[in-house]
Amino acid sequence: MRRGAWRIAFAFLFASMTGTTGLRAAVAEDLRVTLVKALGLVGAQRSHLEGTAMEKRDAALRDCFAAKATDERLAADLAARVRPALPNDESVRPILRFLDTAAGKKLAAGVARGNRFPTSALLGPSRFTRATLVAHVPMLRGELTAAEEAEIREFVASDAGKPLERILKNSSGLEQFAFTLNLRSVYATECGIDLNPPRK
């Protein structure tokens, strides 16, 4: 190996060991992807997108979503979305550890359920047990023990858990709607689809 190549290889190895290359950022990105998948946000985001292309005239847009909105692409887009709240891997790890607890697993299940059904339907009167909001997530009454609910509320109020509370809050309502419309526009542009064609 030439001397220049040795220098490049050594520099890369040293930088990797000291965390001064993009390697550290890649690890953090992987953790953010792990997080959005653990919360069921990838499938939820696909459902949100599909909900914007329900008309007969939206056939091309549905084909576009099928091609562009892969699990990998959506996970990457969602990971980028949570980056401001989780700037590095150290900020992600406490949340992943919490989601691995009994209370955390129930919270994640509630997030997935809340993304399948409107919150109003879960909270409104029905023949089923009504739900209550815990950290912006509809949880069925009796689903959590008192200790588990207290554990969730304590975690999202802590410095380590506040980013999770922010993510959960932004995964519904106007914030979610705006993010979905932005993704819709980005994917449509990549597919060469004009979302505002001139009227004939």
Does the pLDDT of residue 26 top 60, yes or no? Answer: no
pTM of the model: 0.75
Total domains in the fold of the chain? 1
Strand partners, 137: 134
Output the average pLDDT for the chain.
82
Residue 2 or 52, more confident: 52
User: Is residue 133 classed as helix, strand or coil in its secondary structure?
Assistant: strand
Domain containing residue 162: 28-190
Domain-embedded: residue 75: yes
Residue 150's SS3 state is helix
Residue in the block written with tokens 């299940």? 109
Is 141 part of a structural domain of the chain?
A: yes
The answer to whether residue 42 sits within a structural domain is yes
Neighbours of 164 (CB within 10 A): 28
Q: Is residue 57 in some structural domain?
A: yes
Write down the pLDDT at residue 141: 83
pLDDT of the residue at 199: 72
What pLDDT is stored for residue 134 in this prediction? 92
Q: Is residue 23 part of a domain?
A: no
Q: Residue 105: what pLDDT?
A: 96
Q: Is residue 200 part of a domain?
A: no
Within a domain: 19: no
**pLDDT recorded at residue 79:** 95
HSE-CB for 111 with a 13 A CA cutoff: 27
CB 42 within 8 A of CB 71: yes
pLDDT, tens digit, for every residue of 72-103?
Answer: 999 999 999 999 999 999 999 999 999 999 99
pLDDT for 17 beyond 70: no
Tell me whether residue 1 is in a domain: no
